[in-house]
Amino acid sequence: MSEMLEVRWHGRGGQGTVTAAKVFADACLSGGRYVQAFPEYGPERAGAPLKAYNRISSQELRMHCPVLNPKIIIVADPTLLDSINVTEGAPDDAIFIINSSKDPSIIRAKLNVSKKQKVFVLDATKIAIDSFGRPMPNSPLVGALARVSGAVSLETILEDVKKSFGKKFAKKIIDGNLEAAKRGFEEVKEG
């Protein structure tokens, strides 16, 4: 990957969205790349809409400001589609990854994107509940992002999920998150 990849995450406080951006950045360090992961800073309230960003590049990242035109836009909470405009600043060839139980074609119609823009959907909340019993969609979404972006392999992502959860959580939770990331990678579908 020669050019810069920019990602914008939409989530709600407490869903692990910022952690997901961090795990993705960490995994992308491989191959000597430069990475950034940062949230939009504001009052930190559980449930409030938040944005987080990634930049990944083989060149040094000097830009220190929010991403305006993200190539990939991830929506971690489906209810955000009704309350904020997640397509803001999306380039003509933008890729959307949406956490939803709905059919990809329905999400595509809802987003009202152009033909060149791609929409991928996965039921990350259900995968998370199946895998470790909590509605935390971040691990499946990181798996899906690895698949869709091609920036990093599933194996590297799994290693990083293990590393970032390893110190804080029990083995059961870690294994659940690994399963969730793997299923996110496998189950994400284009609409």
Partner 1 sequence: MSNIYAVTGNEAVANALRQINPDVCAAYPITPQTDLMQRFASFVSDGLVDTEMILVESEHSAMSACVGASAAGGRAVTATSGPGLALMWEILFVASGMRLPILMPVVNRSLSAPLNIHGDHSDAMGARDSGWVQLWSENAQEAYDNTVQALLIAEHMDIRLPIMVCLDGFIISHSIERVEYLDDDIVKNFVGTYKPQNPLLDIQHPKSIGPLILPDLYTEYKRTQHEAMSKVKNIVLKTADDFAKISGRKYSLFETYRLDDAEIGIVILNSAAGTTKDVIDIYREKGIKVGLLKPRLFRPFPYEEIRETLQHLKALCVLDRCDSFGAFGPLYTEIASSLYLSENKPIMINKIYGLGGRDYMPEHAKIVIEELIEIANTGKVKLFKDYLGVRE
The site for partner 1 (CB under 8 A) is made up of 21-22, 25-26, 29-30, 32-39, 41, 61-66, 68
Residue 26 Cβ vs partner 1, minimum distance, rounded to whole Å: 4
Structure tokens at 188: 């994400």
What residue type is assigned to position 54 of the chain?
N
Task: Using the minimum distance from each CB to partner 1, give the nearer residue, 76 or 81.
Answer: 76
Residue 44 Cβ vs partner 1, minimum distance, rounded to whole Å: 11
In eight-state DSSP terms, residue 56 is: E
CA 103 to chain centre: 19
Structure tokens at 175: 């294994």
Do the Cβ atoms of 50 and 11 come closer than 8 Å?
Answer: yes
Residue recorded with tokens 């691990």: 139
Task: Using the minimum distance from each CB to partner 1, give the nearer residue, 66 or 104.
Answer: 66
Residue 175 Cβ vs partner 1, minimum distance, rounded to whole Å: 23
Residue 32 Cβ vs partner 1, minimum distance, rounded to whole Å: 7
Task: Using the minimum distance from each CB to partner 1, give the nearer residue, 38 or 96.
Answer: 38
Do the Cβ atoms of 23 and 9 come closer than 8 Å?
Answer: no
Task: Using the minimum distance from each CB to partner 1, give the nearer residue, 34 or 118.
Answer: 34
